[in-house]
A and B are shown apart, each in its own frame.
Chain A
Amino acid sequence: MSQTPYSPLSGARTLPRLLSGISRKRPRGATLVAAIVLLLIVAMAIFAPWLTQHDPSEIAPAQRLQGMSAEHWLGTDAYGRDLFARVIYGAQVSLTVGVGVALATLLVGLPLGLLAGYFRSIDAVLMRFMDGLMAIPGILAAIAIVSLTSANLWTLMIAIMIPEIPQVVRLIRSQVLSIREEAYVEAAQLMGTPTLTIIWRHLMPNTLAPLIVQCTYICAAAILTEATLSFLGVGLSSETPTWGNIMADGRTFFQLKPSLIFWAGLLLSLCILSINLLGDAARDALDPKMQRREG
Chain B
Amino acid sequence: MFSYFIRRLLTAIPVMLVVALSVFLLLRLSPGDPATIIAGDMANPEQVANIRRALGLDEPILTQFLLWIGNLLQGDLGTSLISQTTVSSMIAQRLEPTVSLALAAILITVLIAVPLGVIAAWRQGSWIDNLVMSVSVVGFSVPVFVIAYLLIQVFAIELRWLPVQGFRGLDKGLGEFLSRLILPALTLSSVYIALIARMTRASMLEVLREDYIRTARAKGLSQRVVLFRHALRNAAVPILTVVGAGFAMMVSGVVVTESVFNIPGLGRLIVDAVLARDYPVIQALILLTAGLYVVINLLIDLSYAITDPRIRY
Q: Which residues of A does B touch, CB under 8 Å? A: 16, 25, 27, 30, 128-129, 131-141, 143-145, 147-150, 163, 220, 224-225, 227-228, 231-234, 247, 251, 254-255, 258, 261, 265, 268-269, 272-273, 276-277, 280, 289, 291-292, 294-295
CB distance from A122 to the nearest CB of B (A): 15
Stretch at the interface among B1-9, B24-32, B42-50, B177-185: B24-32
Which of A27, A135, A225, A232 is B294 in contact with, Cβ under 8 Å?
A135
Shortest Cβ distance from B271 into A: residue: A232
**CB of A249 to closest CB in B, whole Å:** 13
Known: A132-B16, A140-B289. 18 other contacts (CB 8 A): A30-B134, A133-B18, A134-B248, A135-B16, A135-B18, A135-B290, A136-B19, A139-B252, A139-B255, A145-B30, A148-B26, A149-B30, A228-B143, A265-B143, A269-B146, A272-B141, A273-B138, A273-B141
Q: How far is the CA of A258 from the CA of B149 in the complex (A)?
A: 9
Q: Is the interface of B mostly helix, strand, loop or mixed?
A: helix
A-chain residues with CB within 8 Å of residue B259 when the two chains form the complex: 231-232
| B15 and A132 within 8 A (CB) | yes
- Can you list 5 residue pairs at the A/B interface with Cβ under 8 Å? A128-B14, A135-B19, A138-B248, A232-B259, A234-B274
B residues 248-266 touching A (CB-CB < 8 Å): 248-249, 251-252, 255-256, 259-260
Bound-complex Cα distance A129 to B15 (A): 7
Are A132 and B17 in contact, CB atoms less than 8 angstroms apart?
Answer: yes
Min Cβ gap A228→B in Å is: 6
B residues with CB within 8 A of A:
11, 14-19, 21-23, 26-27, 30-32, 125, 130, 134, 137-138, 140-146, 149, 153, 157, 164, 195, 198-199, 202, 206, 209, 238, 241-242, 245-249, 251-252, 255-256, 259-260, 270-271, 274-275, 277, 282, 285-286, 289-290, 293-294
Judge whether A269 and B27 touch: CB under 8 Å: no
Say whether B198 contacts A132, CB under 8 Å: no
Whether A265 touches B146, Cβ cut-off 8 Å, given contacts A135-B294, A136-B289, A280-B137, is: yes
A277→B22 CA distance, assembly (Å): 35
A258 to B137, CA, bound (A): 25
Q: When the two chains form their complex, are residues B248 and A291 in contact, meaning their CB atoms are under 8 A apart?
A: no
